[in-house]
Structure 1
């Protein structure tokens, strides 16, 4: 037996929630509120990432890429501005006078630049495209270009264990990713009553069934007792990257907790630094445990700190918190379990998705009362119904 130590609205008739819509809305809002500054608008496209800087007037622009720095020299000065970014292929930007510098992520060394005149109610714009793959090199933007929307990125090929909807799925149907944690070579927690991999999968399959009944498509990271990779970090990365496109509305990872015999209750997480007073980070165990889990959690904790200055990342976390609160409330109401609340922690699997992402701990399989409950189909059904209803509410879906 392996144990993981732990420490302690009504429906509206609005259209289904789309992550691309709220990102686009955010970008438009930022454009109107920050027209006088040099902060970029951001776009993720197939094969490249785009930064768009408003200009006071059309001007010249010359690009030079040296190592991991793309430097653009302008014919006109811009207000000074700088910041970190979590855009694919890009780490940071800095504007000083006539110079715009973009720090590229490792492995990215190509970029293109163009200047668009004012058109369609938009000011003149400096456009910097950072290539993220050798294919789909962007053409020069047209003068009628709108504020760039978040579009699908190139995702890593999914393993055979992953179930994807058919490519002919209607565009107006919401799409979610459900991640039953662990599986295959990693069973997760185990007690005399339950194995984590079994509970996670049983509940996730029930949630999928209920969502499909209400017109929601679902990608499962696994639908059988399988792992995606023997390497835990690669396994987590493959799961999370199924939710890095603008077509996915949410990513939900489902887990079962473990600790001493007195620990019990349900808790729901979204990505962030471990909360003060919760003891050793819960994420250490879900990130692989041992020294590898410790190292990955330290990296993710540092990443959480770095996200504080990224506006788009903060928007994602805000929606993730709302989803986590809805799920937690529904689960407690449906089960009568002890509520351990909504928390933040540095889980790798919910760091990478570019859409609202949460991780649910359904309860403690090591608790003498809660453990046997988690093995009961009727209890699993109640939990699945609560999670599905929270997701439907979040999506404004009937």
Structure 2
């Protein structure tokens, strides 16, 4: 009897160990490991990406997995306990392993634990609408979703796209040139055939399918700092998040009036993750992040040239060798050396023209690091933004700096920022 009990214990222990080492990813079963010796499960990063259709990149001692515009980054270590304690990636057995629960939290994936076996999957998503638009001669299809999704191009002509994890789609009229079909991975979207191959642009909850190579207007990206629960600095009844949004809206009108294409990281009092702001920064020829601080002085920051992305360095190497037709496209995403510092000095000078003292310097800020264009973070003083007239004056100065950097004729001089009036606190 004692032998039988011992045998049952051994069998149960073996079965439990097998079950605990399982990892279910989508419809696939693979192995989980526990490098920290605790309950933190790690799964093979590349297999997870393949099973869920995620973007995958390993570079510079880090591994990146992406879902739509959201990116999850882990530095890689060969120290198991360190990987577990710091939620890092772990290199072992010839593969890179990532903490499953942390990955799910970063990308908004479905995660649960079934009796010791981790389960990782995509949350069902819905395609809200498909809109067609023209932008500077380019044909665009705007795909709007209710959450972040991964979209993959299956064929160029006609464009066929896999909408991974998209289980609900809008009704398409019978005579529509767009077709939607359900598939085992979610949905498939087919667009009308065209002469130019399409390319995809990922934005929060939106994917743009664009084709054509027109002379496009310059894209300026404005980033009103903070938002949602993140109020930023608060002085009296004034919150940084409100001032930056109000300033961005004024500046957007001035830039669009001159024919520039303007995109903003937020249009309302909403929270925007830092990774998303950096994703927006990578799209523009000019990126301007707006912040505020107590007092009157302004600070203008650009990213140090010595720490630029390898992608930017490679683009600069290719520019002299690129044919003219392709060069115009490359120049939209790769600015010459010193561009950001030159733009920062221009912003500081324009602010000085409205009696706002500004200091230009360099700082290795992440939100600036992903931009190949002229990226600057401007931190304005509350005193110059306190009134609507003050924000108008600052927006005018910032617009003047953008026009000057792009070589556009300077607009009419902007008025100086008025002195703050007692009781004027409404943003």
TM-score (norm 2): 0.43
Greater percentage in strand: 2
TM-score (norm 1): 0.46
